[in-house]
Structures are given as C-alpha cells and as structure tokens.
Amino acid sequence: MAVGNVPFPEMLPLNGVRLGTAMAGIKKPGRRDLVVIELPESATVSGVFTRNAFCAAPVAVAKQHLEHCRAQGRSPRFWLINTGNANAGTGETGMRDAHASCAALAEQVGVSAQDVLPFSTGVIGEPLPMDRLLAGLAPALESLSSDGVSWQHAGQGILTTDTRAKGATATLEVHGQQVTINGITKGSGMIKPNMATMLGFVVTDAAIETPLLDRLLRETVDHSFNCITVDSDTSTNDACMLAATGTGPSIVDEGDVSAFRDALQVVMTELAQAIIRDAEGSTKFVTLHVDGANSRQEALDVAFTVAHSPLVKTALYASDANWGRILAAVGRAPVSDFDVNRVVIDLGDVRLVENGGRAASYTEAAGSAVMAQPEIAIRINLGRGDESATVWTSDLSHDYVSINADYRS
Amino acid sequence: MAVGNVPFPEMLPLNGVRLGTAMAGIKKPGRRDLVVIELPESATVSGVFTRNAFCAAPVAVAKQHLEHCRAQGRSPRFWLINTGNANAGTGETGMRDAHASCAALAEQVGVSAQDVLPFSTGVIGEPLPMDRLLAGLAPALESLSSDGVSWQHAGQGILTTDTRAKGATATLEVHGQQVTINGITKGSGMIKPNMATMLGFVVTDAAIETPLLDRLLRETVDHSFNCITVDSDTSTNDACMLAATGTGPSIVDEGDVSAFRDALQVVMTELAQAIIRDAEGSTKFVTLHVDGANSRQEALDVAFTVAHSPLVKTALYASDANWGRILAAVGRAPVSDFDVNRVVIDLGDVRLVENGGRAASYTEAAGSAVMAQPEIAIRINLGRGDESATVWTSDLSHDYVSINADYRS
C-alpha cells in the first residue's frame, strides 16, 4: 500500500551528469537493479552515512573513497548502486567485494577505484553475487544518458520493498541564471535514519565549495530524512549524497546560500516524505508537530516516542480516535519534570487533551472524522518553551506485518 | 494467541488475607471486573508505580494513601481494583472518582478512606462508570474468602486483553516455619513497564519491616517486570504491590533475607514471564540475554533495542532466521564506540554472528530449526565487559495488529 498518488516529477537534465541502469539479476531477473551515476570533474560531493555500528561494507568504502579524493583535492566521479543485496554483515568478504566493484567500474571508464563510491541495499548478510554485478556494469555504462527520464530509471533501479520510484526537483535563479536540484531516494522499511537515509542521491548544477556543501547537506538532512520513521529501525546502509556539478552559478553570498538552502530543503523534505508515503503497508501519512519544548531535541524525543508507539500506529491504521494512546505515549517520552496540565494535544483541528485530560470540547464524532483521513496532523504543545520539531511517520497495518514476515528484506 | 499452556497454580491461603470479586458490568456484563483484597492490620505494604507522566488518577491516589498511612505508622488495609476502565487522562473528574471509590469501600468496612488503595485498568480517557462500580462493592465484599481459589478469581477479575489469569506461588522455610508468597498479575499489551508493571499484587505471610520490603520489591521488580516488553508502550496505570502480612516468621537476618529474596524473585519472574507468554497476538516467547557489556544499563539498552525492533519481531513471527535484522538492531543500539568485530550473537545453540559478519559455521537449516520453536533464546555478547541483562519479549503478529486495531483498550 502507499498513501496518495505521487507521480515521479519531470526532471531537467544537469550538465555533465549522466545516469545509467541495468537489469543485472542480482536478486531477481527482469528489473533494474544496478545504477551508475556519473558526475563531471568540476563537481563537489558531500555525503552523510548511517550511524549503525554494523554499517555495511559499501558504506565503509564510500567513506574511505570520499576522504581519499578530498585529500587529493578532487571529487569522486561515479556513484555505483545496487539493490537486491545490502552487502552488510558480510565481514571481510563484503569489503573485498565492495572494493572489487569499484575497481571494475573504474577500469571500464578510465578513472581510479577511489573515484567510485559504492552503495548497496537489500537483504543483509548474504554475499554480493559478484559475477552478476560485474556483468551488469557494461550495459549500465552503455545506457548512460543525461535525459530527464534517466533520473526516473535510476529511481526505479534503487528500490527494494518500495512500491514506486521517488524523486523531487526544484529550480531557483541565482545571478540571473537558473539552478536546478534533482534528487532520488528509496526506502520503505527499516527506516529511522540517523544522520542519513537509505538512500538519497541529490545533484545540483550550482558551484558550491565543499565545506559549504557539507554544511548544507547536514542542515537539510537534519530537517528531512532525520525526521522520518517507519519502524524505528536504523538501516546498516543509509547514505544520502549531495553533489554540486560546478557547471552553473556559484553559491557563495549569504543571500544565495539562503535561497539555495531553502530550495534544497524543499527537495530533501519531499524525498523524505515520499518515503513515508510509501512506507511498508502504510495507509496513513502522519505529521507530528511538537512545539512549546525546551529544546529541539526534547521536541524530537516526544515526536519520535509517539511515532514509534505500536499502539498509536495501530489506532491510526484502524482510524480509531483512541487519543488515550497518544497521551500515554507523550507521558512516557524521555522528558524530565514535565507538567501534564500544560500539555495540549490537537488532532487536526480537533482539541483532544488539555488540563491533564480530555478537552471539554472534544467529541468522538469530531475525532473520528479526522482519523478517517489519509493525511493526519497531530500537534502536541508541551507548554514549557519555544522550541519545536516536525516528524513524519506511517501507521502499522496488517500489510506491514505481512511484508516483513513474508519477505526477507 | 498465547505461548504454551500455563495453568494457574494452586495457592495456599495466607492468614488474614481475603479476596473478593464481583461482576460489576464496568465495561461488559457477565465477567469478573471488580476485585477487593483485604490485608490484616499486622501487614506491611510496599508499591512501585508507573513513571508515565500522564499517570492515572488511581495511581496518584494510591501513592497518596500509601504515604499517608506510612506517616501515621500503619499500613493500608484494602486494595480495590477494577478492570474495563483505566481512569487515566480523566483530569479532575478522575481524581474525584478515585477518591470516591475508596471512601465508599472504607465506609462499608469501617476503615478510613486512606486505608484503601485504588487500581484501575482498561480503556484510557473514559470517565469511570461510578454507579456500576459502587454497586459492585457490596457483592465483592460478600464474596471475600481466604481460599486458595479466591486468588484465581481475583486473577481473572483484573484481566483486559489477557487470554488467561496469571499467578505464581512459592514457599520457603524460615526458622522451621513455612513462608508462602502468592502473586497475581495482568498485562498483555501497552507493556514496557518502567519501575513497575500493570498490575501485580504479591502477598507473603512473612513479617518484614517496611524499608526492607521496599528494597526487596524494587530489587526483584528490576529483574522481572522491568525486564519485559511487548510493544515498548509504558502504561499510564502500572503498579506492582507487595504486602507482608506479618502473621508468619520475621525476615531480618541476612541469610533469611537472601533466601526470601530468591523465592520472591522466582514469583516475580514467573509473573513477568506470564505476561510475555500471553502478550497480545504472541506466538513466540523470546529470551534476550546480553552479556560482555560495560554496565547493566548498556546490556539493557542493547536488549531492549532488539526487543523493540518491529523487523526482528516480524521475523520471529515468521520463524524466519533473518539474523541480519538482529545484527542491524544491535548496531543501532545506543552504545558508544563498540567494536562490531568483538560481537558474538547466538540463536539458541547456533552461532549467527562473529568477526563482524555471519559466522563461518552458520547454516540456514540450523537457524531455521531454532526459529521454528515457540521458545527462543537470543544471546548477544558485546565482548567489552562483565555486565549482563536478560529481557523477555514477544513477536509481532497479524493478531497484534488486529487486537489493537479492532479493540479499544
């Protein structure tokens, strides 16, 4: 299931950026499962990666290669992505396979192995089927294209349990020239990114120095991918990459940085929300807004406690205005000394809780009418400060259980 | 569903302790839903309560009354328990109702209202149906009995989504005299007790001074009720009570305290495990043992991270030896600087993970054979210290979703 109809957007080509895909049969035949993204020499590249201690071999190698290129004063030229196998929990063999994949691609295109960053997604703990992956490189390279539609094909080529390709695009004007930002992402389960998500690839044709690129990626991810959760499970393979090709105008002045960051935030947030709209088994898209907190972290703690509650998630699935479960989840959030009498909880435009209990104005009919919608906003005011946070999540359905009990992801 | 066949044990009567039940029709007619437990004047009483900030009115009143009695140098005489309504999230009305329930019982038995501790369980946020509750007091008092079977009736009278009454009993010999410990508990969903569970009532005929009773309750709950989780949701109404009637031998000497604590721990652990065996929709009883940790808290953090992972829980439901999900959950646990190459994970007697990846000796057939069992042990050695913890949990099934999507608990 998935919430709403979210078509893949039309994307403009980016100068010097080409995308290619192949059906390598890594897990199943007849589907795109290998993606190559080529960046121009002028590009700058930034990445954030999972904080899972059991991070996958490709994550370790991508970090190494990115660091190596930076030390040499250049940027990586290729992102190599496979679905169907995460190459995680694979020990030494996994590291060898990730390195060998990069080396094989590098040889075919005439760059060094460190110019290739590898990414994998799929089942954890199985060895990467290297013969099929390596055989897929040539057809993927042959299909390299800068057409807008190549972004959609790449979006398809990175999916696992996702039901649809996810992309977002934005344009802005800098010094009279158009700047474009294109991004794709995948993810549907094992989603509670910590510093990144599994997987996001965003490219702009602006020119942005590496330190600024790093900062923009970190800031926009913190308010997008790091604010979503399907099931609280942080993946071993999360990565979100941002490249600026350097072929367009330079983003340097404060005003340009601010305008660019706003556009980038729109793309990042759309991509992150696209993951939640396509969460495994989801029937609801839920926005949790917490304000009146003493700190952003406190607001996030409350929002994630509610977002992870199986009882809140099953009530959302049932369209049951069982607000007692929201109250119970807020009450167990890791916030010290909070005064429940100051907490106000709204479901859409219906007040649920005030003065420590059910709002006097609340009616079951009004609550049920909001819960019946596919898109639901829950607003929690803690009444103790000025900080806030917004988190997006999905419900917990029979299909979530079926997908994860029947499918080895 | 429930795991295994766990009959209610035969219990010995305790001198001066009587239990009565009534069918008050608080939520539905024709089932025991009101319980009165009478304790002798000689008793000492201890309790631990939920840390949920939105704690229910009866929790607040029970704490007040217990404190009041202690300040007066006496112990509460009655525990009054209803199921079908939690009297939580009910604001001022809820407090008034809890006080009025105690006062009504106190008047009928000739004690003061503070001698009655109230407990409620059931739906959150509905007002307590006071007329039906008050009408049920007389029949409950008429049925007061010290028979062993009255414990089983009381066990039935506190259930909500539970499928069976849960009791545990133990005897030990102190100075040539027999000491008995009887306990009942309830709980099946919204179970991740924090300092207590919803609800446990344990009584012994030993004589134990209040400070020691408090310590024994805290210590044994920390290794039983505080080590279970169904769905990570800490209830608003959790409470675990321990009373020592004082009619039997005194527990004072170190050796006696140690022997008594061991027996009490057996009762507490059996009750806590009974909740997990009857967890909502459960088909598996899972023991998570973490050792090699730097602290007990670290071991608990890892154990609960795995126990709360929806992906691990659905794999357990599917009997799928998808050990990559266990590895991913361990890797995202809040433990700083841990070396994944030292982590060893065993599923029953099958080694899953060592040296940062799948164990060389692992076979899918061996893993699947363990996962097919209804009782599964997962052992995680972090390889960095000498501390350990054991946590018990259940799987996540279609029935869990059905129970919580269809039933307003």
Residue type, A1: M
Per-residue pLDDT of chain B (409 residues; tens, 9 = 90+): 678 778 899 999 999 999 999 999 999 999 999 999 999 999 999 988 888 888 899 999 999 999 999 999 999 999 999 999 999 988 899 999 999 999 999 999 999 999 999 999 988 888 999 999 999 999 999 999 999 999 999 999 999 888 899 999 999 998 899 999 999 998 887 777 765 566 888 889 888 998 899 889 888 888 888 888 887 788 787 888 898 998 888 998 889 999 999 999 998 898 888 888 988 899 999 999 999 999 999 999 999 999 999 999 999 999 998 888 999 899 989 888 888 889 999 999 999 999 888 899 999 999 999 999 999 999 999 999 999 999 999 999 999 999 888 766 4
Q: Of A132-141, A399-408, B176-185, B249-258, which gets the smallest average pLDDT? A: A399-408
> According to the model, what pLDDT value does residue A240 have?
85
State the catalytic residue, choosing from B21, B50, B161, B197. Answer: B197
Nearest residue to B194 via CA among B236, B164, B162:
B236
CB contact under 8 A, B91 and A358: yes
Contact A93 B357 (CB under 8 A): yes
Distance from CA of A94 to the nearest CA of B (A): 9
Contact A129, A26 (CB under 8 A): yes
Q: Over the range B31-68, which residues count as b (16 or more CB within 10 Å of their CB) and which as e?
A: bbbbbbbbbbeebbbbbbbbebbbbbbbbbbbebbbee
- Mutation target vs A (from B332, B354, B368, B400; most A CBs, 10 A cutoff): B332
Asked about A197 being catalytic, the answer comes back as yes
Does the beta-carbon distance from B190 to A311 stay under 8 Å? yes
Cβ–Cβ below 8 Å for B358 and A53 = no
Q: Is residue A409 over pLDDT 60?
A: no
Chain B residues with CB under 8 Å of A49 CB are none
pLDDT of residue B217: 87
User: What's residue B130's pLDDT?
Assistant: 98
pLDDT of residue A339: 85
Least CB-CB distance to A236: which of B233, B331, B358?
B331
Confidence class of residue A407 from pLDDT cuts 50, 70 and 90?
low
Specify the CATH number for B18-277; select among 3.40.50.1000, 3.40.50.300, 3.40.50.2000, 3.60.70.12.
3.60.70.12
State whether CATH 3.40.50.150 applies to domain B285-406.
Answer: no
Any known ligand binding at B219? no
In this predicted model, what pLDDT tens digit does every residue of A241-261 receive, in sequence order? 898 998 888 998 889 999 999
What's the gap between Cα B136 and its chain centre?
26
List of chain B residues whose C-beta atoms are within 8 Å of the C-beta of residue A357: 89-94, 125
Task: Check whether B143 is labelled as a binding-site residue.
Answer: no
Residues in chain B closer than 8 A to A306 (CB atoms): none
Among A188-202, A324-338, B88-102, top mean pLDDT goes to B88-102
Note the pLDDT tens digit of each residue in A353-374: 998 888 999 999 999 999 999 9
Q: What band does A205 get if pLDDT is binned at 50, 70 and 90?
A: confident
pLDDT of residue A103: 98
Domain boundary assignment for chain A: 18-277, 285-406
Q: Work out the minimum CA distance from A182 to partner chain B, whole angstroms.
A: 30
Write a three-state SS string for chain B.
CCCCCCCCCCCCCCCCCEEEEECCCCCCCCCCCEEEEECCCCCEEEEEECCCCCCCHHHHHHHHHHHHHHHCCCCCCEEEEEEEECCCCEHHHHHHHHHHHHHHHHHHHCCCHHHEEEEEEEECCCCCCHHHHHHHHHHHHHCCECCHHHHHHHHHHCCCCCCCCEEEEEEEEECCEEEEEEEEECCCCCCCCCCCCEEEEEEECCECCHHHHHHHHHHHHHCCHHHEECCCCCCCCCEEEEEECCCCCECCCHHHHHHHHHHHHHHHHHHHHHHHHCCCCCCCEEEEEEEEECCHHHHHHHHHHHHHCHHHHHHHHCCCCCHHHHHHHHHHCCCCCCCHHHCEEEECCEEEEECCEECCCCCHHHHHHHHCCCEEEEEEECCCCCEEEEEEEECCCHHHHHHHHHCCC
Size of interface A-B (CB pairs under 8 A): 213
Active site residue: A197, A204, A245, A393, which one?
A: A197
Q: Span A82-110, mean pLDDT?
A: 95
Task: Tell me if residue A373 falls in helix, strand or coil.
Answer: coil
Nearest to B318 among A91, A311, A405 (CB): A405
Q: What is the pLDDT of residue B394?
A: 93
Q: Is A186 annotated as a binding residue?
A: yes
* CA Rg value for chain A: 22
Q: Do A398 and B396 touch (CB under 8 A)?
A: no
- For tokens 């602006």, the residue is A206
Average pLDDT, chain A: 91
Chain B residues whose CB is inside 8 A of the A397 CB are: 401, 405
B327:A404 CB<8 A? no
Residue in B with minimal Cα distance to A195: B332
β-pairing, B375-381 vs B285-293, is: parallel
Residue to mutate among B325, B362, B397, B399, with most A CBs inside 10 A, is B325
For A408, which of B51, B322, B358 is closest by C-beta distance? B322
For an interface test with B, give the residue of A234, A314, A347 to mutate (most B CBs within 10 A).
A314
pLDDT(A227) > 90: no
To the question of whether residue A404 is assigned a binding role by annotation, the answer is yes
Contacts of B231 in chain A (CB under 8 A): 309-311
CB B273 within 8 A of CB B394: no
Residue in chain B lying closest to A396 (CA): B401
Best interface-test mutation with A: which of B308, B343, B358 has the largest number of A CBs within 10 A? B358
What's the pLDDT score for residue A82?
96
**Confidence grade of residue A160 (pLDDT, cut at 50, 70, 90):** confident
* Tokens standing for residue B269: 């652990």
Q: Which of B89, B194, B358 sits opposite A353 (nearest CB)?
A: B89
Side by side, the strands of the sheet bearing A78-85 are A18-22, A34-38, A78-85, A116-123
User: What strand order describes the sheet that includes B34-38?
Assistant: B18-22, B34-38, B78-85, B116-123
Residues of B in contact with A409 (CB under 8 A): 311
- Is the Cβ pair A404, B86 closer than 8 Å? no
Same CATH topology for B18-277 and B285-406? Answer: no
Please determine, for residue A392, whether its predicted confidence score (pLDDT) is greater than 90: yes
pLDDT for the residue A283: 93
C-alpha B353/C-alpha B364 separation (Å) is 13
* Structure token pair of residue A233: 């499970």
Q: What pLDDT does A309 receive?
A: 93
